[in-house]
């Protein structure tokens, strides 16, 4: 117990994987996850600190450690095809809606670690599906209100 009586539990929620902290009166007290409100009970992996600042530092360490352990492919979240489509849309937006060259999209894919042959195949599929347009080597994502 601390001098002012505050103790903070730093935890990773077993249900939603959120890393956070909560003030508790003792280690045996349950608390709720800040994100999904799941019940959080004491486990040996949990850390306890006596200030919000310390809780934030411990949270950062836990998150960084988890990121180092996980594989990059797991952190990406989106499928490769969706990522390629998002790249076309984002790069086109950055170019004030004028589209983006295929070479620029492929460079972005290369930088993101996406196999170039796979990226080219997905670009062809996206065009066949009507999700992007290729106008003489300039790609543009098709929006719902676009008329051609």
Q: What is the DSSP string of 22-58?
A: EEESSTT--EE-TTT--EE---TT-EEESSHHHHHHH
User: What pTM does this model have?
Assistant: 0.46
Continuous segment of H or E residues that includes residue 9: strand 7-12
pLDDT of 148 reads 39
pLDDT of 78 reads 63
The residue ranges of every structural domain in the chain are: 7-70, 76-141
CATH code of domain 76-141: 1.10.10
Return d(Cα 117, Cα 110) in angstroms, integer: 10
pLDDT of 128 reads 87
| Average pLDDT by stretches of 10, the chain with 148 residues | 75 91 94 92 93 93 79 55 89 84 90 90 89 86 57
pLDDT of 29 reads 93
Return d(Cα 49, Cα 23) in angstroms, integer: 9
pLDDT of 1 reads 45
Of 73, 140, 79, which Cα lies nearest the Cα of 104?
140
DSSP letter for each residue of 99-143: -EEHHHHHHHHHHTT--HHHHHHHHHHHHHTTSEEEETTEEEEPP
């Amino acid at each position: 117990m601390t001098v002012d009586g505050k103790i903070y539990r730093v935890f990773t929620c077993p249900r939603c994987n959120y890393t956070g902290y909560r003030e508790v009166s003792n280690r045996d007290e349950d608390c709720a996850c800040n994100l999904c409100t799941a019940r959080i009970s004491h486990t040996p992996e949990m850390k306890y600190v006596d200030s919000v600042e310390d809780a934030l530092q411990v949270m950062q360490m836990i998150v960084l450690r988890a990121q180092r352990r996980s594989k990059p492919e797991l952190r990406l979240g989106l499928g490769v095809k969706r990522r390629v489509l998002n790249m076309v849309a984002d790069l086109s937006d950055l170019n004030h809606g004028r589209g983006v060259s295929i070479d620029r999209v492929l460079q972005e894919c290369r930088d993101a670690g996406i196999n170039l042959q796979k990226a080219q195949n997905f670009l062809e599929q996206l065009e066949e599906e009507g999700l992007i347009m290729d106008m003489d080597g300039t790609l543009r994502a098709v929006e719902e209100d676009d008329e051609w």
